[in-house]
Amino acid sequence: MTTNPSAELLDNLLTATGRTTAVREEVRVWSMSGVERVAFPDGTTAVFKYAKKPFDSEDQALRLARTLGVPVPQVHASAVVDGWLGMLMEDLGPSVRGADDLDGVAAAVILHGTRTAPPLPVLDQERLRTLPALALEHLERLRKADRWQDADDIADALGRIAQAAEARSTGATLAPFGWVHSEFHPTSLHIGERGWRLLDFARAFTGPGLFDLASWHGTIDPPHPVRLRVFLEQYVTAGGTPDALTPRGGLTAENWALGWHRMWAVEWFMEQAVRWINDPATDPGYIKVVRRHLTDVLHLLEI
């Protein structure tokens, strides 16, 4: 396991910005990334964020978003050491309040109205319908490593979704199709004294904007199509495309969005389990989440 090179990254960033010393204060740290506030001798502060693959291109996404007019924190400098990205960013200061649903739709309208950016990975219909098959490949690799042995129900559910994927994935490129934040939650929207900024662009891609709207209320609680329908209607009222309400894949927009967003999450969790985290000790937690999401996918996509 790569040792976290945050000290070396910060040294590189200080050099790049003409600084010599900084006092570090942890804000939020986990195995694959961390956020710290750094204070300089002159009394100014910045945010130092570091992350390992696959979160190592957030600096590019943030710079791109800023260039295209999306309100995001400014990246002062970025550097890469041993597959870890480090960024020194503007310190937005304390939030004046938490983000509510109307803040969420306002931010989504701005982001989804931004011109598509070629460097971002693309999730179109072809890519969307391969998600269950990709998840099955991850499962096969896990089983070859003598992990996830009691997961026949997961294999069965993924097989059923793969069979239905062609029909259910139609409409993937209906508007809003373009920038997808993909970590779109109230905690990713910072509301400060100088307005709002959208944070956490590590997994931004080009794809169905409905995924952002489906993720806003989180995936811990059971999916709530009626609540999402209201949110979609608020989005349209706030200036989002009316196509957000258009049925797709033979389903309502809200069921399609919630179902495919959870399928996307399942494939990501399984890839993490086999590739990025790759720690058998975490398997019970991952299996539990994957089972719960797959039950929701089968129900929402009417499979």
Q: Per residue in 47-65, pLDDT tens?
A: 999 999 888 999 999 999 9
Q: Is 76 helix (H, G, I), strand (E, B) or coil?
A: strand
| CATH number, domain with residue 22 | 3.30.200.20
251 within 8 A of 174, measured Cβ to Cβ: no
Q: Is 120 helix (H, G, I), strand (E, B) or coil?
A: coil
181 within 8 A of 109, measured Cβ to Cβ: no
Q: Do residues 79 and 123 share a domain? A: no
| CATH number, domain with residue 201 | 3.90.1200.10
Q: How many CB atoms lie within 10 A of CB 288?
A: 10
Residue in this structure with the two tokens 């803040």, named with its chain if needed:
103
Sign, Cα dihedral of 253, 255, 258, 260 = negative
Sheet holding 75-81, edge to edge: 23-30, 33-39, 45-52, 84-90, 75-81
Q: What does the angle CA 203 – CA 205 – CA 206 come to, to the nearest 5 degrees?
A: 170
Q: Is 114 helix (H, G, I), strand (E, B) or coil?
A: coil
249 within 8 A of 161, measured Cβ to Cβ: no
Task: Compute the mean pLDDT over every residue in the chain, rounded to the nearest whole number.
Answer: 95
Q: Is 78 helix (H, G, I), strand (E, B) or coil?
A: strand
Give the model confidence (pLDDT) of 250-270 as tens digits. 999 999 999 999 999 999 999
162 within 8 A of 136, measured Cβ to Cβ: yes
Q: Do residues 53 and 166 share a domain? A: no
Q: Do residues 126 and 22 share a domain? A: no
What is the extent of the structural domain holding 60? Answer: 6-90
pLDDT value at residue 277: 82
Q: Which residues pair with 33 in a beta bridge?
A: 30, 51
Is 229's pLDDT higher than 90?
A: yes
Q: Do residues 27 and 75 share a domain? A: yes
Q: Do residues 222 and 148 share a domain? A: yes
Q: What value does the mean pLDDT take over residues 186-195? A: 95
Q: What value does the mean pLDDT take over residues 271-286? A: 92
- Report d(CA 116, CA 109) in Å as an integer: 14
pLDDT value at residue 117: 77
pLDDT value at residue 214: 98
Q: What is the 3-state secondary structure (H, E, C) of 160-210?
A: HHHHHHHHHCCCCCCCCEEEECCCCCHHHEEEECCEEEECCCCCCEEEECH
Assigned domain for 213 exists: yes
Assigned domain for 96 exists: no
Q: Is 252 helix (H, G, I), strand (E, B) or coil?
A: coil
- Report d(CA 147, CA 141) in Å as an integer: 9
- Report d(CA 266, CA 258) in Å as an integer: 12
Assigned domain for 287 exists: yes
